[in-house]
Chain A
């Protein structure tokens, strides 16, 4: 108990309104998930920014290694044909 008195960090994700994804907005310190939701509500939804909150312990997020970004992301750079921009869209199709 006395060894680690600091609250762990939680990452906060907020859904702005129905139909949208939860987006990362920041982080808070909290003793547990319930407190993290309360802190997130108090810090990040003061101006009606959201209708739903997700909290995740920061240590539980596994991130890609920046040192590997060449290997992970470079190969996509010269493969423009993966973008669906080479199709002629018929006039009749209104919403695509």
Chain B
């Protein structure tokens, strides 16, 4: 039943592969979500801003997925991994697949992920896994801009009008529970930390928390309580939203296998 249960005694190679896929898929799925804003953002300048972030994330996903394909050793390319895996094999954090909602929902989701990716990539840049370190060193510069963008919007909306404050607080309350998954270490995370390939998640949580708290304070937003319920998108158990996203994202390659430009 539990997709992750079979992996507790998996060889290290498979554990590292899953670890890399989690990072890749979170960027991939969030890029797909952000892409849907093109043509719909509140101003043409924001259209470009969100599209730039989406393209950065897609670029990160490509690098991580290529590395995952090498780790897997079955000759699958980044495209094969992005477009031909089924839902239980996609290992993004659940937060990334949450629907765009209104602009405030998107900004809250973006900020929570951006803050996580900055802290994660900063640590991965010192990974004992040279490939991870190399990709993260490039990605962290992008993530630092992303969090600057999303944090400044969060402050504008939180510390804006009564309506914008109320709406963005409600977005935050709704999306907050999904962040716990980032820091809820399982065997894959523990194996990466033990090798020095990935960070200790308790330490990562503390860094993320203080970054998030500082922005929430400036935005006059209240930090929601943590809930006991956990989501496990990173183990392939997703919300009802991912299947719909994949059916759109993967449609072309599923209908016309191998189609290229």
Contact = CB atoms under 8 A, between A and B. Distances in A.
A and B held together in a complex: yes
Contacts, number: 25
Counting chain A CB atoms within 10 Å of each CB, the highest count among B48, B148, B161 belongs to B48
A40 to B, nearest CB: 9
A28 B48 CA distance: 12
A38 B52 contact: no
Given A29-B43, A29-B45, A30-B45, A42 B52 contact: yes
Contacts of A43: 45, 48
A39 to B, nearest CB: 4
Contact of A31 (B52, B148, B156, B161): B156
A3 B101 CA distance: 27
A1 B152 contact: no
A77 interface: no
A42 B152 contact: no
Q: How many of chain A's residues touch chain B, expressed as a range?
A: 10 to 19
Nearest to A38: B149
Q: Which 7 A-B pairs have the closest CB atoms?
A: A39-B45, A42-B49, A42-B48, A42-B52, A28-B45, A43-B48, A38-B149
Contact of A34 (B49, B152, B161): B152
Interface in A33-82: 34-35, 38-39, 41-43, 46
A95 to B, nearest CB: 38
Q: How large is the interface on B (under 10, 10 to 19, 20 to 34, 35 or more residues)?
A: 10 to 19
B48 A7 contact: no
Interface string B140-157: 000001001100100010
A36 B152 CA distance: 12
A65 B145 CA distance: 40
Nearest to A40: B45
Contacts of B148: 38
Contacts of B145: 41
23 contacts: A1-B161, A7-B43, A28-B45, A29-B43, A30-B45, A31-B156, A34-B152, A35-B152, A35-B156, A38-B49, A38-B148, A38-B152, A39-B45, A39-B48, A39-B49, A41-B145, A42-B45, A42-B48, A42-B49, A42-B52, A43-B45, A43-B48, A46-B52
A47 B48 CA distance: 13
Nearest to B161: A1
Interface in B33-57: 43, 45, 48-49, 52
Nearest to A44: B48
Q: In this complex, which of B45, B48, B49, B161 has the most chain A Cβ atoms within 10 angstroms of its Cβ? A: B45
A38 B148 CA distance: 9
Contacts of A31: 156
A37 B172 CA distance: 26
Contacts of A41: 145
